[in-house]
Amino acid sequence: MKLETFFEKFDLFADAPGAVAKMRELVLQLAVQGKLIDQLPSDEPATKLLEQVRKSKERLIKDRLIRRQETEPINDDTAPFLIPQSWVWTRLGEIGDWGSGSTPARGSHELYGGGITWLKSGELNDNQELAGSSETVTELALKTGSFRRNRPGDVLFAMYGATIGKIAILAESAVTNQAVCGCTPFKGVSNRYLFLYLLSQRAAFHAASEGGAQPNLSKVKIVAFPFPLPPLDEQKRIVTKVGELMALCDRLEAQQQERETRHAALARASLARFVDAPTPANLQFLSHSSYTITPADLRKSILTLAVQGKLVLQDPNDEPAFKRKEPPIDFESPPGWVSGAVSDLAVLKSGISFPNNEELGQGEYPYVKVSDMNLPENQHEIATSSRFINPDERDLKGIIPADSIVFPKRGGAIATNKKRLVRRPIFVDSNTMAMICPSFIELRYLHIWFLGIDLWQLNSGTSVPQINNKDIGPLVIPVPPLAEQRRIVAKVDQLMALVDHLEAQLAASRATAANLLTALVAELTTQA
């Protein structure tokens, strides 16, 4: 199969995650393996070119313009991949002169603000015409520091941290800090072909880096890195072809973004239709080949509609929820509904700590921690715990009764929306809070309402995120008649099951597209 055919089939795998990015990777991979364009018999073999490159290097060393950088030869056993017979393996240190820069003393103002561009690794960004920088240095800085004077056309390579492997081609003279290594390719080596090769090997450079929080790739490793050298004319043809295909990728990406913008508008309209009439039929309508509404958005809409009385019909025969003065809520509630603050309708209770681990044996009551709340997306009920206790009488005041909702009250777990149901008496730790459900509210309905509350927005902590009674107590619970609560729970279960099914279909569609993309890539990369 030809690469052009691969591009023509783009629509078949456009839904695969990172499809255009994968196409760019493929173009680069084929380019540096000699599979992107045909080899021409008229091209002078790269073995002769490498001899000329070495002669140029020796002249520069003899004239003391560069220093010698010794590297080991590459044989068939150490070559990373196969290349055409007209190509030759060498190392990066053999095809150019490499050197890094430095950082002038920050307290010496006379070293900064001059007319010399001073680049740092975060400014490279794979730019093939890099000019300008956020800071400049003076001639005095260059005279007193250890700098490599990079020239227009030199290739820059980032060696430190998250930017390892970022590259650029200079459009002006510049120096760099110590996190950037510059290369002046020798005569016979195209700087743009070198750029493409470095770009194609970014993952390999990351794998070769060393260090923990701040990994780095030393100059010694860079110059020893293998480099496949094609004939010079073929280097130029590869650069031209890659440019054409990357431009095609740009157009495909722009078309994809335009299509996604149109589809987002369609998705919003379809979601609005579902909000107006939240029926299973309209939910199915949201599953469309030309656009995708995320399951998370659907679930959020279902929860909102449920507690606004828009999910099921009201029955005038239902006994009203209860009589009380209603605090204001932000929507017009249906007949028979009332509302009240959490502090008025439910009981909030914080957990307690049992510092003695010996107490956490096989006791009568489960002792639940935040870690016990890590359940699958569609599972909300905590069935068991690995810790059980037999509390003494003084601790019994901390018991959480059956039919409660437990959730994190401290730390980053607040943002996870872990709100779990418990059906038996338990204890919870001090990082956990419970909402005890009153008899006139169905536990599952209370949970549906509570799932729609973003606890992170209620965070009143400073150095450590946390929520407490005063943050949750003022929240208003809309309460339908008990019979309607149960109909709402049943409808939510029905619609959520459909969302699960739609999500599975979406995942299968993306997996199919991804598998097709993988198969096409494999076919192209394994062909001779």
* Burial profile 416-427: b = 16 or more Cβ within 10 angstroms, e = fewer: eebbbbbeeebb
Query: 90-223 — its CATH code?
Result: 3.90.220.20
3-state secondary structure of 182: strand
What confidence tier does 359 reach under pLDDT thresholds 50, 70, 90?
low
Residue 328 has pLDDT above 60, yes or no: no
Q: Do domains 90-223 and 322-480 have the same CATH topology?
A: yes
State the pLDDT at residue 393. Answer: 61
Q: How confident is the model at residue 528 (pLDDT cuts 50, 70, 90)?
A: very low
Domain 322-480 has CATH 3.90.220.20: yes
Q: Which stretch of 74-83, 157-166, 352-361 has the lowest confidence by average pLDDT?
A: 352-361
Q: Which residue's entry shows tokens 């941290």?
A: 161
% the chain with pLDDT above 90 = 43
Residue 288: phi and psi, rounded to 5, are -130, 145
Beta bridge partners of 47: none
Q: Are strands 365-368 and 427-428 parallel, antiparallel or unpaired?
A: parallel
pLDDT at 91: 94
Provide the pLDDT for residue 264.
Answer: 66
In the predicted model, is pLDDT for residue 259 greater than 80?
A: no
Compute the distance between CA of residue 272 and CA of residue 338 in angstroms, rounded to an integer.
26
- Against a cut of 0.85, is the pTM above it? no
What's phi and psi for 512, nearest 5 deg?
-65, -45
Please provide the size of the chain in residues. Answer: 528
pLDDT, tens digit, for every residue of 205-229?
998 888 777 788 999 999 999 999 9
Angle at the Cα of 366 from the Cα atoms of 362 and 368, rounded to 5 degrees? 130
Structure tokens given for 152: 């227009």
Under the banding of pLDDT at 50, 70 and 90, the label for residue 270 is low
pLDDT attached to residue 179: 93
**HSE of 384 in the Cβ direction (CA atoms, 13 Å)?**
3
The residue extents of the domains of the chain are 1-16+254-319+481-528, 90-223, 322-480
